[in-house]
Amino acid sequence: MKSILPVILAGGSGTRLWPLSRALYPKQLISLVDRRTMLQNTILRVEGLEHSVKPMVVCNDEYRFMVAEQLRQIDITADAIILEPVGRNTAPALAVAALWALEKGDDPVLLILPADHHIQFADQFQRVVKDGFAYAQAGRLITFGIVPEKPETGYGYIKMGAALDGGSQDASAVAIAAFVEKPDLETAKQYVDSKAYCWNSGIFMFQASQVLGALETFVPDIVTACRQAIQKGKSDLDFFRLDKAAFSACPSDSIDYAVMEKTDCGGMLPLAAGWNDLGSWEALWQVGEKDDLDNVVKGDVVLHDVEDSYLHAEHRLIAAVGLKDHIVVETADAVMISPRDRVQDVKGLVDQLKKKNREETRTHKRLFRPWGTVDQLVGGARFQVNRITVKPGGVLSLQKHFNRSEHWIVVRGSALVTRGAEQFVLKEDSSTYISSGIAHRLENPGKIPLELIEVQTGGYIGEDDITRLEDLYGRHRE
């Protein structure tokens, strides 16, 4: 019996969920529906699935420590965390996954799962996956089509063909008659009324050797580039880095275009398990728990005469009067307001901000590091104030700055400080001063998180004014 290797695709930026989702902190790493992040829920969704083994995660370099930390929080050890130096769509990512699995001497069935999907009924999802497992072992390249609940113009569709042998009574695969691009509303209504179409979910299941053979047949240049990227790649702590030059030379293509539209071995399993890709604020309103006036509320929110709206407060009170069918999202550095029927235009808003090189499109005021977090509290000419949290056992790099000095004040826990040739411990309500040009390091030797206030002063306080002398995490910059 083959094993099932879950392959979690954790790239992408989710710009339609700005300002919560950003380039360096995308929606798959955020808690949107419950206390767990979408990445964590995706992995836990296959927990207990028969024949399933440790998952593989494919993500980019900038997310690597957040991905590793989120796996640690749910006690999951990955088979591999593979880092893509650049995005090249799903076909290269799946070629890498298949090559990696086959190099280990196994030929598992790959279960391809985007990390940013919400599925309400995990038990039903697993039942359909079991059917997919049987078809995949028989040589089929299976995709999962979502049984549509309403006309939707934001998804591609798959037209169902004749039934295929080999499934259970409740979930039989069908041949793929056609892949269809995102339709207009009238066409979408026709698709749904015909009951002959499903939404294209981007979830797949196939044997590693089978999909690799199809890739070699239809897009051999992708396989060649991915094979070289693995051969020239290198391990780095808990990660494997694909070679940048080789992977950058790889053509960008989706598995749909590269293989599924061309193969004679394809099949689709209809899936009705409360699926939503949470691709917009409207989608979050749809799946959210609503009050008596059909509002979905997150955080510190006070409402008067508000209905059918979604309000999300991260740092401050939102007080709203007289709204109907609106989205209001507040973060530490941005507030986004939109009618519910205009949320697809948020991407255009982000595009405008990118043209202006606004930092709000890239990152939040909270920065995630392998050792903890940095909250940027306030800044101005020649100063920046941060709240630094170092997890137990966390160690910052041994570093120095040429243009700024730093004042550290411990407010919780204890800090082991290296300052030049000195090393000493700071307890709560104690402080120290690090002048520019002095090598220094901060460590948390305790069992509780270390919290301190850092005041940076100097002529230049940019994040690139860091010279690392030693670093446990192999970073060149913070």
Question: CB atoms < 10 A from the CB of 324, how many?
Answer: 14
**400 and 251 together in one domain:** no
Banded pLDDT at 171 (limits 50, 70, 90): low
Instruction: Give the pair of three-digit tokens for residue 287.
Output: 């799946």
333: part of which helix (H) or strand (E)?
A: none
The string over 171-191, giving b where at least 16 C-beta atoms fall within 10 Å of a residue's C-beta and e elsewhere, is bbbbebeebbeebeeebbeeb
SS3 232: coil
Q: Render pLDDT for 266-278 as a digit per residue (tens, 0 to 9).
A: 999 999 999 998 8
With 70 as the cut, is the pLDDT of residue 166 above it?
A: no
Give residue 107's pLDDT: 93
Summarize the confidence of residues 135-145 as an average pLDDT.
95
Tokens read off for 233: 């790649």
Same domain assignment for residues 291 and 396: no
Residues 350 and 390 in one domain: no
Does the pLDDT value for residue 110 go beyond 60?
yes
Residue 478 lies in a domain: no
> pLDDT per residue over 41-99, tens digit each?
999 999 999 999 999 999 998 889 999 999 999 999 999 999 999 999 999 999 999 99
CA distance 23 to 13: 5
pLDDT of 21 over the 70 cut: yes
> Can you read off the two tokens belonging to residue 293?
């006036």
Classify residue 314: in a domain, yes or no. yes
- How far is the CA of 358 from the CAs of 230, 350, 354, in angstroms? 35, 9, 6
Clarify whether residues 304 and 212 are in a common domain. no
Residues 169 and 296 occupy one common structural domain: no
Strands, E assignment, 164-306: 174-180, 197-207, 234-236, 239-241, 266-271, 275-276, 296-298, 301-304
What is the extent of the structural domain holding 63? 4-276
Q: What is the pLDDT of residue 168?
A: 56
- Here the tokens at position 106 are 């196994």
β-bridge partners, 14 = none
Within a domain: 475: no
Give mean pLDDT, residues 379-390: 95
Rounded to an integer, the average pLDDT of 350-368 is 93
Shared-domain flag, residues 272 and 143: yes
Q: Which residues contact 470 (CB under 8 A, 6 or more apart)?
A: 397, 398, 441
Instruction: Evaluate whether residue 68 is within a structural domain.
Output: yes
The residue out of 322, 354, 386 marking a domain boundary is 354
210-254 confidence digits (pLDDT tens): 999 999 999 999 999 999 999 999 998 889 999 999 999 999 999
Q: What average pLDDT does range 457-477 have in this prediction?
A: 86
Q: Each residue of 294-353: pLDDT tens digit? A: 999 999 999 999 999 999 999 999 999 999 999 999 999 999 999 999 998 999 999 999
Q: Are residues 80 and 206 in the same domain?
A: yes
Q: Note whether 223 and 192 are same-domain residues.
A: yes
Q: Is 285 within a domain?
A: yes
Measured between alpha carbons, how far is 298 from 280 in angstroms, rounded to an integer? 16
Confidence of residue 477 (pLDDT cuts 50, 70, 90): very low
**pLDDT tens readout for residues 248-299:** 999 999 999 999 999 999 999 999 999 998 889 999 999 999 999 999 999 9
Residue 413's alpha-carbon distances to 47, 88, 233, 271, 386, in angstroms, are: 36, 44, 40, 49, 17
Residues 232 and 329 in one domain: no
Do residue 435 and residue 301 come from a single domain? no
Residue 338 sits in the same domain as residue 443:
no
Residue 104: band (very low, low, confident or very high) from pLDDT cuts 50, 70, 90:
confident
Whole-model pTM?
A: 0.90
Quick: pLDDT tens for 390-440: 999 999 999 999 999 999 999 999 999 999 999 999 999 999 999 999 999
Residue 172: pLDDT band (50, 70, 90) is: confident
Please state the domain count of the chain. Answer: 3
User: Would residue 70 count as lying in a domain?
Assistant: yes
Residue 457 and residue 375 share a domain: yes
Whether residue 110 contacts residue 101, with contact meaning beta carbons closer than 8 Å, is answered with yes
